[in-house]
Structure 1
Amino acid sequence: MAVASDQTAPAPSSHTSGTSGTTLSAPIPRNTALGLALAALATLVWSGSFVTSRALHDSVPPVQHAFWRWVVALVVVAPFGARQAWRQRRVIRRHAGFVLLASLLGVTLYNTFVNEAGRTTPAATMGMIMAASPVLMALFERASGVRLGGRRVAGLLVACGGVLLLVGEGADVGPGDAWMIAATCCFAAYSALLRRKPAELGGAGFLFTTFLVGAVLLLPAQGVSLAVQGGFEPSYETVLPVLYVGIVSSAVAFFAWNKAIALVGAARAGVVYYLQPVCVALLSWVLLGEGTGWGQVLCMGLIVGGVVLGAAGRR
């Protein structure tokens, strides 16, 4: 689940009213294009973290994988966020409930559940299940009064249809699926929550604080894991993936995702997130040798088409 960005006002409307009362269509605002690009970047990076969770399933216990991920991320973000977090400490205390909930959903629970799922579930299947999160994001936004628009709903349905067909193409259902469903719910709730982030909570400071609180919340589980499972052996095969998820999948991806939501909202960013099963399937095929058939390729094309349609506008 980031260097969170300062809350940015919603992008201006794509329609401009003239003095005659007519309405003219305008190009997609620059902020909207940037938000979609950042959402795509975060989606690609997080796809790699699913592959990493699967690759480390028998060498690094899930809780330890999550804990060290956030410790690494905390170290990376500290030069940018620690001082800002200290300056806004009174604001953080004032919004302690919001910060605690964001940390629990986006840091403590989400990635721990993903790592648990990776013990038994193929990476491609994890990505397919995770693709349900945009539907939940859209529902959360709609429940809060945000109008989605016909084009976005159509894109959501097209991409969702592609995901369902992709799952039907041969997803190997395993016991880790329940963990991935729980992770999906946590991520969707976290993304919807970000839209309501108080403007006083600065980006880097908010990110540092959520990483810190989330890692602290993981400490009891980390202690139990060390006592019961023992530590893992540091090696090239274990340390590099943990560094990847700590630096790229945490600091970089969370910054990009939080900024994307500030610019375009969780629903539109969620449509772009439908690209994740495509990215995960391709990466797992290249890096782990998990198969991808022609039927899956066609379904991926449907997903991409839905993303393009749904991300284009609100009409």
Structure 2
Amino acid sequence: MDRVRTVAQHTPGSRGAAKGSTGLGLLLALVATVVWSGSFVATRGMADSVPPVQAVFWRWIIATLAVAPFAARQAWRQRALIRRHLGFIALASLFGVALYNTLVHQAGLTTSASNMGMIMAASPVVMALYARLGGERLGVRRTFGLLLAAFGVLLLVGDGSLDVDFGAGDLWMFAAALSFATYSALLKRKPAELGGPAFLITTFVLGALMLAPAYAVSLTVQGGFEVTPGTGGMLLYVGVMSSAVAFFAWNKAVSIIGAARAGVVYYLQPVCVAGLGLLLLGERTGPAELLCMALILGGVSLGARR
């Protein structure tokens, strides 16, 4: 029986299925990365009109409503399983929903969308370290690709120099990168029997509940915000696309190819954010930035391969 299983694992069809799964995982990671790139532009656009905690709170309310038609029934069926693993789910909600996004919106007050995307690209380094600590072998090619892309990101943040001077917003983004990497590492421990939609809506609800006290304080101290077509549109984008769609795609990608490999694709984010920042916010991209982006793309190409 073991021999039959071994032969089956090495058939051309099995290899093709494995390659197909890897390709799907990389594609889903890319979808999440591109969508999240737009969220940094939207976050920067809301910085002067919507207080960070209020923006994040409504982001998750909108996200919960967006996924409810697809996820609520499964979550109800798996309510006993959710209660059994509530500690783990709450931890994932804390790092991936409440902390990460609040830190991103806080950073948007004092740094550019391009810087936000560049610094968030530090999270794959932490993902790879978590993966290595968990016993995953990264391999020479993927490690070299990771280091090459990291070098490109460092040059990009330093405007072509390794002498980097970080501001307050940049430091907030580093904290956000650490939080997101921790969330991605936690995803590997998600119980296999817990459905993706059920996990997603539960983390969204718990994250919103965690933010509710801070939201109440923000309303009292800062007052509310005016809902305009601009702010409403950006909140819908970060709530539906950047939360519901991107988180589902990312979670699925990590379940297929692992956080370390998905993290390599995530290095494309500075390239996407820089392009969107130029088109939508007028943030310029010069020759030095283009060279750094080429290093990032080269590193991603090496690191994403088997």
TM-score for both structures, normalised by structure 1: 0.90
| From 247, 256, 263, the counterpart of 1:254 | 247
Q: Deviations over 1:179-219 (max 9, x none)?
A: 11110110000001101111121111110100000001100
| From 291, 301, 305, the counterpart of 1:298 | 291
Distance across 1 between alignment mates of 2:166 and 2:189:
35
Distance across 1 between alignment mates of 2:157 and 2:44:
18
Checking the alignment, whether the CA contact within 8 Å between 2:158 and 2:165 is kept in structure 1 is no
Which stretch shifts more, 108-117 or 142-151?
A: 142-151
Match of 1:29 in 2: 19
| From 101, 106, 109, the counterpart of 1:116 | 106
Cα offset, 1:157, TM superposition: 1.0
| From 147, 163, 169, the counterpart of 2:153 | 163
| From 268, 276, 279, the counterpart of 1:286 | 279
Match of 1:197 in 2: 190
- What is the alpha-carbon root mean square deviation over aligned residues? 1.9
Distance across 1 between alignment mates of 2:91 and 2:218:
23
- The yes-or-no answer on 1:237 pairing with 2:227 is no
Look up the equivalent residue of 1:181 and give its one-letter code.
F
Distance across 2 between alignment mates of 1:106 and 1:137:
13
Give secondary structure in 2 for the equivalent of 1:176. Answer: helix
Cα offset, 1:174, TM superposition: 2.5
Match of 1:145 in 2: 135
Q: Deviations over 1:54-93 (max 9, x none)?
A: 1111100000100000000000100111111111111111
Distance across 1 between alignment mates of 2:54 and 2:110:
17
Distance across 1 between alignment mates of 2:53 and 2:132:
34
Match of 1:89 in 2: 79
Distance across 2 between alignment mates of 1:73 and 1:167:
31
Distance across 2 between alignment mates of 1:95 and 1:285:
44
Give secondary structure in 2 for the equivalent of 1:139. Answer: helix
| From 91, 101, 117, the counterpart of 1:127 | 117
Distance across 2 between alignment mates of 1:79 and 1:213:
18
Look up the equivalent residue of 2:256 and give its one-letter code.
L
Checking the alignment, whether the CA contact within 8 Å between 1:51 and 1:284 is kept in structure 2 is yes
Cα offset, 1:173, TM superposition: 3.7
Checking the alignment, whether the CA contact within 8 Å between 1:57 and 1:118 is kept in structure 2 is yes
How many corresponding residue pairs?
295
Which stretch shifts more, 184-193 or 149-158?
A: 149-158
Distance across 2 between alignment mates of 1:253 and 1:16:
32
Checking the alignment, whether the CA contact within 8 Å between 1:121 and 1:172 is kept in structure 2 is no
Checking the alignment, whether the CA contact within 8 Å between 1:107 and 1:214 is kept in structure 2 is yes
Q: Deviations over 1:242-301 (max 9, x none)?
A: 000000001110011000000000000000000001111111111101111011011101
Which stretch shifts more, 226-235 or 156-165?
A: 156-165
Cα offset, 1:172, TM superposition: 7.5
Cα offset, 1:16, TM superposition: 6.3
Give secondary structure in 2 for the equivalent of 1:146. Answer: coil
Give secondary structure in 2 for the equivalent of 1:29. Answer: helix
Which stretch shifts more, 164-173 or 118-127?
A: 164-173
Structure 2 unpaired stretches of 5+: 1-5
Match of 1:70 in 2: 60
Structure 1 unpaired stretches of 5+: 1-12
Match of 1:219 in 2: 212
Distance across 1 between alignment mates of 2:131 and 2:197:
25
- The yes-or-no answer on 1:136 pairing with 2:129 is no
- The yes-or-no answer on 1:312 pairing with 2:302 is no
Distance across 2 between alignment mates of 1:97 and 1:141:
22
- The yes-or-no answer on 1:207 pairing with 2:200 is yes
Q: Deviations over 1:98-131 (max 9, x none)?
A: 1000011110110110000000011111111111
Distance across 1 between alignment mates of 2:272 and 2:166:
19
Report % sequence identity: 64
Look up the equivalent residue of 1:73 and give its one-letter code.
A
Normalized per residue, which structure has more helix?
2
- The yes-or-no answer on 1:175 pairing with 2:168 is yes
Cα offset, 1:26, TM superposition: 5.1
TM-score for both structures, normalised by structure 2: 0.93
